[in-house]
Amino acid sequence: MEFAMMRMKTLGFALLLAFAMIATLFGPGHPVALAQSDERCFAETGYCIRGTIREYWEQNGGLAVFGLPLGPQQAMMGEDGVTRQAQWFERHRLEIHPENAAPYNVLLGRIGVDTLGRQGRDWQSFPRPDSAAEADAERCALFRETGFIVCDEFLTAFRSYGLNFAGRPGITFEESLALFGYPISQPMTEVIEGKAYTVQWFERARFELHPENRPPFNVLFGRLGAETIEAPAMALQRGPWQLVAFGNVNAPQAAYAGQASTLAFDGSRASGSTGCNTFGGAYTVNNNQLSFGPLISTLIACAEPTLDAQEQAIFAGLQDVRSFTLAGNDLRISYDDGRQALVYRNIGAAALEAGAWQLVAFGDTNAPRPAAEEPATIMFDGMRVMGRTGCNNFNGGYSLDGTTVTFQPLATTLALCTSDTLAAQEQAVLAALQGARPFTIVNNELRIAYDQGRQTLVYRPSASRQSVVSGTVTYLPRIALLPNAIVQVQLVDISRADAPAVVLASDTYVSGGQQVPLPFVLPFNPAQINPAYTYAVQARITIDGQLRFISTTQNLVITRNNPTTLEVLVSPV
């Protein structure tokens, strides 16, 4: 409930007494919103809005669009590196730009784009819809600038709010666009606070469909401001984390392999192991600043000199920590004025990305069907997921959030499955690998749940635990590829100039009408790789036995800091 603004024209004894009683009632540690002359305060968070920001908040949607204030108005550095007055709200950060005329004297960041970026998701790679939906102008609106379509409840919500342009009655399209920006996705399913919702992303918002609410509250705007503020602290709690390296940032030492060193955060206390001793203590987080209170640990002597050096580095780092960064699934704790670092990896991510997994069962969670004999695999490399359904290859991006993996749209080959069992298996795999899915790894078994937990894919480590080179094949001419085109991609050893290339892996399939970019996956045995050798990917496309496209440049991979994910350009013959 919002506190009404108090206009303090006089300050008599009675008012002072009333304030004193309020302070006594709430006591220390409970912020009390006491309004100044132009402030509006909120008991829910204890913060107030005033002046330009208050005016903007009230005129452009208020609580529904921006949410409650989550902190005071204060000097903050903007995206352009300039410090200005700004304030965080549940759904946005409002930034004062006095050099601009209203309504642009307060600006909103592209918080939708920024949030996706923080999750490692590139909105420009999201699939565009079928253009046929453009014809239904009453239900939908096509935004040609980004190629996405907004329909039904989401379109109603978009049209219901906008910046208040002076002299314009009602809410115009331009006012709505100024507030939310362009759509940057189609509707998709995502897990928010443990529940699956249909959402659509915009440059400055995430629209969420809540069918349990009556209109207009069936569409709510995501708490992206709160998520941004809470992100560093919450991300730490998405461990536990396992040490992978420590020491000098320019020459880190690998963590001791004989005994895992871990670190976990629960919101107020941290606990872990150095590899030979356990420890625990309080910690605090302020943006990317991390500090620990005194740590209590066991006092077992480390048996190995390497383990002892690791323990000393851990305790030194946790007591002298200056900042931390999260990149993908890695947590880096910097200390010694940035010269030293502890590098941890999310244990769930480490297990998920340990190697290739092979499907052993799918379907009903309580009575899964055995997988087909044709191998179906999946592999996560930190940025991309790739594998095989049993009859087609797939490839795409993904991100991790604790025990939830969110799949970006997958590119697949289009070969026909040769049996009903394979077809059912492929349908299950492709249905599961969409949107946000909870996963577990227990007793060396990976389970990916979908259909609200009623269906499950069950994987176990493949016997070879191979690594892969993956990517796409594309070409520049605007030519449709015939359905009978055969795509062949090979991983080759080209180290010897006086000898033919040695083929280490090959991926060959019929395009089946699939157009470029065409995905490929090339599993290989890491034991066959010599760091001193040179490896490359070669590709060709043939139609009716005639070579039509071929790669003409070296596409180096694996060794000498070359990638394992790439795009291979083929040229017409």
Which domains are assigned to the chain?
Answer: 39-109 (no CATH), 123-229 (no CATH), 232-346 (2.40.128.270), 352-461 (2.40.128.270), 467-572 (2.60.40.2990)
Instruction: Extract the tokens encoding 163.
Output: 């910046």
The model's confidence at residue 222, banded by pLDDT at 50, 70 and 90, is very high
pLDDT of residue 400: 78
- Cβ-contact 133, 151 below 8 angstroms: yes
**Average pLDDT for 193-203:** 87
pLDDT reading at 446 higher than 50: yes
| Percentage, residues of the chain above pLDDT 90 | 42
pLDDT of residue 316: 94
**Average pLDDT for 337-344:** 91
DSSP 212-264: TSPTTTTEEE--HHHHHHHHHHHHHTT--EEEEEEEETTSPEEPPSSS--EEE
- Which residue blocks in 291-339 are alpha helix, DSSP H? 305-320
**Average pLDDT for 292-318:** 93
pLDDT of residue 135: 53
pLDDT of residue 76: 79
DSSP label of 513: T
**Average pLDDT for 500-526:** 82
Measured in residues, the chain has a length of 573
**Pairing relationship of beta strands 74-77 and 83-88 according to DSSP bridges:** antiparallel
Task: Please give the residue that has the higher pLDDT: either 263 or 170.
Answer: 263
pLDDT of residue 463: 64
Instruction: Say which residue the tokens 């940057």 belong to.
Output: 184
Per DSSP, what are the bridge partners of residue 75? 85
Whether the predicted model's global pTM rises above the 0.75 cut: no
E strands, 296-444, are 296-297, 323-327, 330-335, 340-346, 357-364, 369-370, 377-380, 384-388, 393-401, 404-407, 411-412, 435-442
The model's confidence at residue 167, banded by pLDDT at 50, 70 and 90, is low
Give pLDDT tens digits for 286-302: 767 788 999 999 999 99
Q: How far is CA 1 from CA 36, 256, 284, 470, in A?
A: 18, 54, 30, 54
Task: Please give the residue that has the higher pLDDT: either 402 or 474.
Answer: 474
**Average pLDDT for 161-190:** 87
pLDDT of residue 8: 32
pLDDT reading at 343 higher than 90: yes
Instruction: Extract the tokens encoding 221.
Output: 């705007």
Work out the end-to-end distance of the chain between its first and last CA atoms, rounded to an integer number of angstroms: 71
Instruction: Extract the tokens encoding 234.
Output: 């919450």
Among 3-17, 74-88, 104-118, 231-245, whose mean pLDDT is lowest? 3-17
pLDDT of residue 11: 32
Q: Which residues contact 322 (CB under 8 A, 6 or more apart)?
A: 289, 334, 335, 337, 338
